[in-house]
Structure 1
Amino acid sequence: MADSSFNNTNLLACPFSIPDPKASATKVVSRWSDTHVESPPAIIITPNSEEDVVSALKFAKLNKLTVIPAGGRHNPAIPINSKSLYLDLINLKSIQLDKQYSQVQIGGGALTGDVIRYLAQEGYFTTMANSNAVGVVGCLLGGGNSSQNGLIGWMADNIMSFRVVTAAGDIVQVSSSSKGEELALFNALCGAGHGLCVVISATIRIYPLSSLNLSPASKDDPSPSIWSRTLIFPPTAIDSAIDAFLAASPPPEPMNVIFGFSRGPPGTPFAGKPIVLLTSTYYGPASEAEASSVGARLLHPSLVEKAVKADTVQIPFANANNAYEPLNDHGGFKSMSSNRIARLSPRALKDAYGKYLAVTDKYPDAVRSALMFHSFNPSKLAELGATPEGEGRFVEARDRGFCTIGVMWSSEPATRDALAVLYDEAVTILQKDDEEAGLPRRVFPGIMKFLPGRRDLFSGEKLAELDRLQEKWNGDGLFWSPYKA
């Protein structure tokens, strides 16, 4: 399809469409959140190759459009409007396993669930996000928080190389062995990569599943599985749940512990009612999980008797994220934000819970919003950060073992605004102990609302380097960037 308002559509040998500017923007561009989908993009281009991407960038320059690369369509911080060239990478989703070199090359449009299932089938794993529908590359570019933090580090720690198309139209392979400006670009892509180039593919380190010594899913299913323990408490038991969560921190390296405030999902006995969650996963044998001090605490009758529901299950590795599928629905006003925290107090958690209850009581359409707290062992992160490679990558606060995650979900603009205030106020409460200890606030770049204060993302030195790299690689503003001053 062509339009006389655009120049040189003959540059595009791949599929493209020019939306009706009067059409509903959220119907033209379907993504996890309708937040910041302001109007239909000027054009949607679906490249089939890196050469198609080069052509798309040339087209964007000629028509003064801002390029928005789209992988998993889960980042609500990116604005879509009539000046956007929406570069849909859905056809660039290859997965190429290299067992000899213990790595996998993943296309820019590959989704997390597809990669997890493929690798598990082949007997491997790597660090991945906790949502099947999220784009792998998008997570890598934001650092990549995951359930494997304690074992193998962040996603950014496991990146071996990127193949990218720059704003100048050059196709470049960058890695930790690159030199000069290409090495600087690689390091920035490992944690603060949005808006610097288009990533065609990323090569990531992989590990044998057998190294985890996982227990079988069941007597009838020998597939390797993850031990998972979940307790649901009524609000009256929040003190016991908080005590158990904080006593479990930091957990053993293979373990994650998540504490959270939520409301019961539809179709359950707790539908719409406030609940307190305490759940744990263990990437090792079930017997080892239950013998650990944390596992024993979560199984202890004195805690279980306070819960309204307590389950222990073995989850086949390939199905690790399946329980979160309801959260992947497209549409509505959604946003996420995540902060790295070194210490949490019982008082702070309880005060944050009070704010959560007040807002979700007042706004019924906020029922699917939640405040979650991920606890993991940060020793591996700190160890990797002390290496020459780790020091250069754009991930900070490696010694902090808590990650707060706010999921703000509503259908009305007024509720969206109230939830944004809730999260900011809750974080102020939660980070009080860190601030008193002189620790700066740190937002995790990969999970950010629109938009955090720049000083909350990185140190002044890292921000200055990021500004320099933006000028070097995106000086004309071809790519939209969340990090520009």
Structure 2
Amino acid sequence: MLDKESAADAPIRGRTLYPGDEGFEEACSGWLLTVEHRPAAIVVAADADDAAAAIRFAAETGYPVAVQSTGHGKSVPADGAVFIATGELRELSVDPRAGTARIGAGLRWGEVLAAAAEHGLAPLCGSSGQVGVMGYLTGGGLPLTARTYGFAADHVRSLDVVTADGLLRTVSPDQEPDLFWAVRGGKSNFGVVVAAEIELLPLRTIYGGELYYPGEDPRHAALVLGSYLSWAKEQPDEMSSSATLLRFPDAPQLPEELRGRSFVQVRVVYTGEGELGKRLVEPLRALGPEKDTCGAMPYAQITEIYQDPKNPVMAHLRSALLHELDAEAVEELVSFIDPSAPGGPFPGIELRHLGGALNRPPGRSHAVSTQGAAFHLWLRVPAPAEQADAARKAADQVLDRLRRWDTGAMLPGFLFDHDSAPERVRRAYTEADYRRLATLKAKYDPNHLFRINHNILPLSNGERTPS
């Protein structure tokens, strides 16, 4: 057990917390409540030096290191670890002339959105303004404008990362390019990223919103989903979109207009001229949505399209990368929201359309790829403690029935507790990229200090990567 006396030699400007201390539970909690951390000690870092001191202490004493900002991507319990909380690393500056921002690891995307918008600029954020910037960037970052601009990792100029030797390194295409490549996709396997410099886009407005279609009639739900899939194939790269299948329980805590109902929900984000965006969406409107919020909007409001939950949740999260979907896939998908089927748990099934810029080589290469997939599947199943096993079985059922369309690959930014084992982590990378990551892991973290994550095993000389 890590004791206060032995940790006192590490000079920390921020707070050091131990089990039983006030604020300990709050500091290691986070948005996703289905994974619980029980670290030996928490360092609430005030600066990069604090992260470096904590890492040096862990290296000297044999404790593993865990890192967390908002806890949206929790995957492995940080039991017995030195836990570095980066939420107070809140550096934020925008250079409007260069079109860049420097961002600390404690920021959330909503804060960067607001700061960039003051200068008519935009960061490549995802669906929630509450998500921490660094876990998103190092996981690759799948923006709402992904088909236009690619992964957010494409637009990272440099990273400040503290490696296992306790050194703070600024990595970029010109400074330690191998490590720069590895961290963008390899996440916390190579160190603790404390700050980043990113490119911003001169994007003030978009055309976007959501369309809700009633889904109680399976035939109508299949028509809507099939029509969306056909429509998506014809769209230019400026149009990014997704379809979500939802079935709500008949629960009194839900709004009356949702209670016991099913929906097919389509969301669109168009980065071109607004009038053309409106015309492109007309075929979706012709399907008769019950609700339509599509229109021109400031880019700073882009995360409002998805309305992701802001408060912590108990949910079982899974993901996959899928091939193109045919009529049989549509039939399988809509069966999950058929109100005549046995009830609960009720997975939310999102299909994010890929392609476009995601299929083009990035200007700054990294370890993230769709591996040629047409859609990203993301499952969210409510999982209160008494329904945890049922939630996992519900997610398994969805993935089992969609196995014919599963590419077998995944995105590193969407690996959660079920996918944290090394053999499943392997699926998030091409064979060549995984071998390169494992080789670099051996170089930068030979003692496997950073293993409380979706773990990449260090590759020894002559060793083969896991199959």
Does structure 1 retain, via aligned residues, the 8 Å contact 2:74–2:416? yes
Measure the CA separation in 1 of the matches of 2:63 and 2:414: 26
Measure the CA separation in 2 of the matches of 1:470 and 1:21: 34
Does structure 2 retain, via aligned residues, the 8 Å contact 1:355–1:422? no
> 1:109 deviation in Å?
1.3
Q: Which residue of 1 aligns with 2:189?
A: 195
447, 453, 461: which one aligns with 2:414: 447
Code of the aligned partner of 1:36: V
> 1:351 deviation in Å?
1.3
> CA 1:107/1:27 → structure 2, altered by over 3 Å: closer, same or farther?
closer
> 1:85 deviation in Å?
1.7
Measure the CA separation in 2 of the matches of 1:54 and 1:310: 50
Describe the SS at the equivalent of 2:193.
strand
Measure the CA separation in 2 of the matches of 1:276 and 1:26: 38
Describe the SS at the equivalent of 2:147.
helix
> 1:228 deviation in Å?
2.0
Measure the CA separation in 2 of the matches of 1:418 and 1:287: 46
Measure the CA separation in 2 of the matches of 1:69 and 1:360: 42
Structure 1 residue 209 corresponds to structure 2 residue 203: yes
Aligned pairs, number? 444
251, 267, 280: which one aligns with 2:268: 280
Residue by residue, what CA displacement relative to the aligned partner does 1:233-273 show, whole Å, maximum 9, x if unpaired?
Answer: 22212121112211122322222222111135822412242
Deviates more, 1:313-322 or 1:236-245: 313-322
Q: Which residue of 2 aligns with 1:437?
A: none
> CA 1:325/1:62 → structure 2, altered by over 3 Å: closer, same or farther?
farther
Structure 1 residue 419 corresponds to structure 2 residue 391: yes
Q: Which residue of 2 aligns with 1:242?
A: 225
The percentage of aligned residue pairs carrying the same residue is 19
Q: Which residue of 1 aligns with 2:464?
A: none
Describe the SS at the equivalent of 2:6.
coil
> 1:128 deviation in Å?
0.9
Q: Which residue of 1 aligns with 2:377?
A: 404
> 1:33 deviation in Å?
1.7
Q: Which residue of 2 aligns with 1:298?
A: 284
> 1:104 deviation in Å?
1.3
- Aligned CA-pair RMSD: 2.7
Describe the SS at the equivalent of 2:335.
helix
Measure the CA separation in 2 of the matches of 1:32 and 1:202: 22
Which blocks of at least 5 consecutive residues in structure 1 are unaligned?
211-223, 435-439
Matches within 5 A, 1:128-139: 128-139=125-136
Q: Which residue of 1 aligns with 2:360?
A: 383
Residue by residue, what CA displacement relative to the aligned partner does 1:174-228 show, whole Å, maximum 9, x if unpaired?
Answer: 11123xxx22211111212222101111111111125xxxxxxxxxxxxx45332
Does structure 1 retain, via aligned residues, the 8 Å contact 2:31–2:313? yes
Structure 1 residue 458 corresponds to structure 2 residue 410: no
Does structure 2 retain, via aligned residues, the 8 Å contact 1:341–1:401? yes
Describe the SS at the equivalent of 1:372.
strand
Measure the CA separation in 2 of the matches of 1:24 and 1:207: 38
After TM superposition, where is structure 1 displaced by more than 6 Å over at least 4 residues in a row? Answer: 22-25
160, 163, 176: which one aligns with 1:163: 160
Describe the SS at the equivalent of 1:281.
strand
Matches within 5 A, 1:333-352: 334-352=315-333
Measure the CA separation in 1 of the matches of 2:229 and 2:381: 24
> 1:7 deviation in Å?
0.5
Code of the aligned partner of 2:43: I
Measure the CA separation in 2 of the matches of 1:469 and 1:357: 48
Measure the CA separation in 2 of the matches of 1:4 and 1:396: 43
Describe the SS at the equivalent of 2:413.
coil
Measure the CA separation in 2 of the matches of 1:140 and 1:484: 18
323, 335, 352: which one aligns with 1:374: 352
Describe the SS at the equivalent of 2:442.
helix
> CA 1:451/1:130 → structure 2, altered by over 3 Å: closer, same or farther?
same
Structure 1 residue 470 corresponds to structure 2 residue 451: no
Does structure 1 retain, via aligned residues, the 8 Å contact 2:278–2:295? no
Which blocks of at least 5 consecutive residues in structure 2 are unaligned?
458-467
Measure the CA separation in 2 of the matches of 1:186 and 1:168: 17
Measure the CA separation in 2 of the matches of 1:401 and 1:34: 31
Structure 1 residue 309 corresponds to structure 2 residue 287: no
